[in-house]
């Protein structure tokens, strides 16, 4: 690596300090996002009891780093109830944060700053990699683009895994480049360590294997004919060593212990029970990895969960709800969530490549090969709940854009002016929505105020808005309000001093609402973007707030909570609340009360799939099979009116209930 000049380091340092300031500002304006309490509680329990069975969906690295500030604290810990592992971690994480963190969220702020080390690491890697591959000016420009990238800013302060894995993906690619350029034992060890940290950050880290193999093949193909055999032996042998080192590092983060949970605790369900529905190569691989104990049980639990994730998550895209992911999700989402300036700069890089002014083909392979593999897998995965899952593409795009502009600027000053204008557009567009970067959309799609019309979940509304909702409530004292909050009951607005009555959503079925929902609401109605667009339902027909999509709103909070004022007829929401209440009471074996709630739900929406199913379930439990059959038949008729992709989620189950 060539030595960088002091002024270059000074500029890079100033940009990283600026990034840290921007992230700290964002931290102060956001509440816990949907997943953070889960990650935090799991990380804390790893430190204190070696329990890796909470949140096994993700490996330990980010959780352990983020919860380092909690180690000196004496904190209250909820009693574990041996629930299904996701319910255990989410609910206990909620209670853990509500009980231990005050209104100022001092603990959360410290943990988010600790997690911010991965954002700084990503930026530093971008700068070093860009400088070594394409020159100092390209390294600085790539760093500038990353510092002001809205998706990077939105995820830099969160106790989640996306930034951590993006950081170590890029670091490993850079380390492998340096190893391939000059193979040494030290560079091999550093690459293996970085690969192990990638695996320990998120399960998608396994994509390093095809990335590094692809890059090794590029290096072999680019080598002189007489050196190819030797190069192949060095790189393929090095790849094998990297795999071994990475797996050892992964085991280290689990304390070199196979069992997910400490003595006296077991997974609910066990790995073997959870893996039963797997088929084919997935079943074979998980089964043998477990029986031979080649990977930790918790890690294998997470690998198993990945296979179900795409089946569990409905999505919202371009104004429509889908029961499952669609292949065009990420191309569309990237076109919405990427600044026009960065898109323009990437196009300039394409011009530089095709005009052969950007000649570093070997170096370009280290951007194009990993990016192509990553995007292809993302498109095929069916996991379509936010651009955070392709966060790794943004530093690659920044490096490519910077390399292209630097190459073009060497041939003509006009490219410098054009590129400078695009860089300015990138920065101004990102800052125009600051600090609400989560909801960013570029100007071609109408900006952040319109993102909710096209995307959902962590691309817009990840439940992060409560501090600003609290400010809004404080500015409207004495006003009654109702709030459909996308994370309730996993997170509760009441913990932030927000007195609004909760409304039912797709997530509220497992816990009874504290207040009855009337058929008519008077006063203020607040709807989270996810609930307005019903992204958690597999069909638009199940959206109880559908009518509000076309109604004028009073104002927006963080471009992801929408405020309505007046008198509103909400019998659909009242019916959903009654039906969900019936389900909770039925589980508690309070049959008479459950029947009353189910009948209320049906009276409000007699042709609704969910209300009739709730009524049928109660009547079947009471032994009234003929009445239950009538309710199930009405529910089945409603299910068959859903979109074709949503019907398999309901029709087979109802047919089974009718013909057991």
Please give the pLDDT value at position 103.
72
**Residue 490 contacts residue 509 (beta carbons within 8 Å):** no
- The C-alpha atoms of residue 649 and residue 651 are separated, in whole angstroms, by 6
- Are 583 and 654 in a shared domain? yes
Q: Over 60: is that where the pLDDT of 258 sits?
A: yes
The helix, strand and coil proportions of the chain, stated in percent and rounded to the nearest 5, come to 65, 5, 30
- Are 521 and 552 in a shared domain? yes
Number of domains observed in the structure of the chain: 3
Q: Examine the fold and report which residue of 501, 534, 569 is the final residue of a domain before the chain moves on.
A: 569
Strand 555-557 with 520-528, pairing: unpaired
Please give the pLDDT value at position 3.
59
Please give the pLDDT value at position 181.
93
Strand 501-502 with 555-557, pairing: unpaired
Q: Is residue 423 part of a domain?
A: yes
Which domain does 491 fall in, by range? 460-569
- Are 504 and 415 in a shared domain? no
Q: Is residue 326 part of a domain?
A: yes
- Are 507 and 607 in a shared domain? no
First-to-last alpha carbon distance for the chain, in angstroms, is 69
- The C-alpha atoms of residue 346 and residue 298 are separated, in whole angstroms, by 40
Q: Examine the fold and report which residue of 523, 552, 569 is the final residue of a domain before the chain moves on.
A: 569
Between CA 402 and CA 559, with CA 445 as vertex, the angle to 5 degrees is: 100
- Are 541 and 588 in a shared domain? no
Closest among 583, 518, 576, 567 to 545, alpha carbons compared: 576
Beta-ladder partners of 321: 316
Q: How confident is the model at residue 261 (pLDDT cuts 50, 70, 90)?
A: very high
Strand 555-557 with 561-569, pairing: antiparallel
Q: How confident is the model at residue 319 (pLDDT cuts 50, 70, 90)?
A: very high
Residues 6 or more apart in contact with residue 475 via CB below 8 angstroms: none
Residue by residue, DSSP assigns 215-262 as HHHHHHHHS-GGGHHHHHHHHHHHHHHHHHHHHHHHHHHTTT---SS-
User: What is the CATH classification number for the domain harbouring 614?
Assistant: 1.25.40.10
State the pTM of this model.
0.94
| Rg for the chain, CA atoms, rounded | 26
Cis peptide, bond prior to residue 146, ω within 30 of zero: no
Please give the pLDDT value at position 4.
59
- Are 488 and 504 in a shared domain? yes
- Are 557 and 580 in a shared domain? no
Q: Is residue 71 part of a domain?
A: no
Residues 6 or more apart in contact with residue 418 via CB below 8 angstroms: 348
Beta-ladder partners of 484: 527
Task: Tell me what the mean pLDDT of segment 303-309 comes to.
Answer: 88
The DSSP call for residue 270 is: -
Please give the pLDDT value at position 136.
93
Tally of CA atoms within 13 A in the half-sphere of 643 that contains its CB: 14
Q: Over 90: is that where the pLDDT of 61 sits?
A: yes
- Are 426 and 328 in a shared domain? yes
Please give the pLDDT value at position 5.
63
**Residue 540 contacts residue 534 (beta carbons within 8 Å):** yes
Q: How confident is the model at residue 67 (pLDDT cuts 50, 70, 90)?
A: very high
Q: Using one digit for the tens of pLDDT, what is the confidence trace for 156-179?
A: 989 999 999 999 999 999 999 999
User: What whole-number percentage of the chain has pLDDT above 70?
Assistant: 99
Q: Is residue 110 part of a domain?
A: no
Q: Give the number of other Cβ atoms within 10 Å of residue 602's Cβ.
A: 22
Q: Over 90: is that where the pLDDT of 611 sits?
A: yes
Cα-based distances in Å from 524 to 121, 209, 489, 561, 598 = 44, 52, 21, 12, 27
Beta-ladder partners of 481: 524
Q: How confident is the model at residue 2 (pLDDT cuts 50, 70, 90)?
A: low
- Are 582 and 563 in a shared domain? no
Q: What are phi and psi of 325, to 5 degrees?
A: -65, 160
Q: Over 90: is that where the pLDDT of 124 sits?
A: yes
**Residue 498 contacts residue 470 (beta carbons within 8 Å):** yes
Please give the pLDDT value at position 364.
96
Task: Tell me what the mean pLDDT of segment 40-47 comes to.
Answer: 97
Closest among 303, 87, 333, 324 to 199, alpha carbons compared: 303
Task: Tell me what the mean pLDDT of segment 203-208 comes to.
Answer: 96
Please give the pLDDT value at position 264.
86
Q: What are phi and psi of 524, to 5 degrees?
A: -105, 140
Q: Is the dihedral of CA 511, 512, 514, 520 positive or negative?
A: positive
Residues 6 or more apart in contact with residue 260 via CB below 8 angstroms: 51, 52, 53, 56, 267, 271, 296, 297, 298, 301
- Are 523 and 611 in a shared domain? no
Q: Examine the fold and report which residue of 569, 603, 631 is the final residue of a domain before the chain moves on.
A: 569
Let me know how long the chain is.
660
- The C-alpha atoms of residue 444 and residue 542 are separated, in whole angstroms, by 30
- Are 527 and 580 in a shared domain? no
Q: Is residue 194 part of a domain?
A: no
Q: Over 90: is that where the pLDDT of 223 sits?
A: no
Three-state helix/strand/coil letters over 40-102: HHHHHHHHHHCCCCCCCCCCCHHHHHHCHHHCCCCCCCCCCCCCCHHHHHHHHHHHHHHHHCC
Please give the pLDDT value at position 203.
96
Task: Tell me what the mean pLDDT of segment 126-131 comes to.
Answer: 97
Q: Using one digit for the tens of pLDDT, what is the confidence trace for 518-555?
A: 999 999 999 999 999 999 999 999 999 999 999 999 99
E strand or H helix that includes residue 190? helix 185-201
Q: Is residue 527 part of a domain?
A: yes
Tally of CA atoms within 13 A in the half-sphere of 531 that contains its CB: 25
Task: Tell me what the mean pLDDT of segment 400-422 comes to.
Answer: 92
Q: Is residue 637 part of a domain?
A: yes
- Are 540 and 624 in a shared domain? no
Q: Is residue 269 part of a domain?
A: no
**Residue 376 contacts residue 390 (beta carbons within 8 Å):** no
Q: Give the number of other Cβ atoms within 10 Å of residue 415's Cβ.
A: 20
Residues 6 or more apart in contact with residue 2 via CB below 8 angstroms: 131, 132
Closest among 547, 587, 302, 334 to 441, alpha carbons compared: 334
Strand 520-528 with 561-569, pairing: antiparallel
Q: Using one digit for the tens of pLDDT, what is the confidence trace for 512-521?
A: 899 899 999 9
State the chain's mean pLDDT as an integer. Answer: 94
């Amino acid at each position: 690596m060539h030595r960088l000049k002091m002024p270059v380091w000074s500029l890079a340092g100033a940009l990283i300090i600026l990034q840290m300031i921007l992230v700290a500002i964002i931290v102060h304006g956001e509440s816990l996002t949907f997943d953070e309490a889960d990650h935090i509680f799991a990380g804390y329990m790893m430190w204190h009891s070696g329990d890796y069975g909470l949140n096994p969906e993700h490996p330990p690295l980010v959780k352990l780093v983020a919860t380092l500030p909690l180690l000196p604290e004496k904190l209250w810990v909820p009693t574990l109830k041996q629930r299904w592992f996701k319910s255990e971690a989410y609910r206990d994480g909620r209670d853990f944060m509500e009980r231990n963190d005050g209104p100022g969220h001092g603990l959360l702020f410290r943990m988010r700053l600790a997690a911010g080390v991965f954002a700084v690491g990503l930026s530093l890697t971008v700068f070093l990699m860009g400088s070594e591959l394409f020159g100092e000016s390209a390294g600085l420009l790539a760093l500038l683009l990353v510092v002001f990238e809205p998706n990077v800013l939105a995820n830099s302060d969160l106790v989640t895994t996306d930034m951590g894995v993006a950081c170590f993906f890029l670091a490993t690619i850079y380390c492998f480049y340096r190893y391939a350029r000059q193979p040494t034992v030290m560079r091999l060890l550093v690459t293996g360590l970085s690969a192990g940290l990638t695996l320990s950050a998120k399960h998608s880290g396994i994509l390093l294997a095809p990335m590094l193999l692809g890059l090794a093949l590029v290096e072999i193909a680019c080598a002189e004919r007489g050196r190819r055999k030797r190069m192949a032996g060095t790189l393929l042998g090095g790849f094998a060593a990297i795999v071994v080192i990475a797996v050892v590092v992964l085991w280290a983060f689990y304390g070199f212990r196979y069992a997910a949970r400490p003595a006296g605790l077991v997974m609910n369900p066990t790995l073997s029970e959870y893996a039963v529905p797997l088929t084919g190569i997935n079943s074979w691989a998980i089964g043998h990895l477990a029986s031979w104990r080649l990977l930790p049980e918790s890690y294998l639990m997470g690998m198993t969960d990945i296979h179900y994730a795409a089946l569990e998550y409905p999505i919202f895209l371009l104004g429509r709800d889908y029961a499952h992911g669609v292949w065009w999700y990420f191309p569309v989402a990237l076109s919405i969530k990427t600044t026009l300036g960065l898109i323009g700069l990437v196009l300039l890089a394409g011009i530089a490549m095709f005009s052969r002014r950007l000649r570093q083909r070997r170096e370009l392979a280290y951007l194009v090969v990993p990016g192509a593999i990553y995007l292809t897998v993302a498109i095929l995965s069916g996991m379509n709940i936010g651009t955070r899952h392709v966060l790794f593409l943004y530093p690659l795009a920044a490096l490519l854009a910077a390399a292209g502009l630097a190459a073009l600027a060497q041939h003509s000053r006009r490219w410098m002016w054009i590129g400078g204008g695009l860089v300015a557009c990138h920065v101004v567009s990102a800052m125009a929505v600051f600090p609400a970067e989560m909801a960013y959309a570029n100007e071609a799609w109408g900006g952040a105020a319109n993102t909710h019309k096209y995307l959902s979940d962590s691309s817009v509304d990840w439940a992060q808005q409560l501090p600003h909702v609290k400010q809004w409530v404080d500015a409207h004292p004495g006003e009654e309000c109702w709030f459909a909050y996308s994370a309730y009951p996993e997170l509760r607005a009441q913990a932030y001093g927000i007195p609004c009555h909760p409304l039912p959503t797709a997530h509220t079925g497992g816990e009874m609402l504290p207040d009855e929902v009337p058929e008519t609401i008077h006063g203020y109605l607040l709807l989270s973007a996810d609930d307005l667009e019903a992204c958690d339902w597999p069909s638009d027909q199940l959206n109880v707030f559908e009518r509000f999509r076309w109604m004028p709103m009073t104002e927006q909070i963080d471009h992801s909570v929408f405020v309505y004022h007046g008198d509103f007829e909400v019998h659909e929401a009242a019916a959903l609340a009654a039906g969900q209440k019936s389900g909770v009471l039925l589980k508690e074996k309070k049959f008479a009360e459950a029947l009353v709630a189910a009948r209320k739900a049906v009276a409000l929406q007699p042709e609704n799939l969910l209300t009739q199913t709730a009524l049928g379930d109660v009547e079947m439990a009471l032994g009234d099979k003929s009445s239950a059959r009538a309710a199930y038949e009405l529910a089945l008729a409603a299910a068959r009116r859903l979109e074709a992709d949503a019907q398999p989620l309901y029709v087979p189950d109802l047919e089974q209930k009718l013909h057991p």
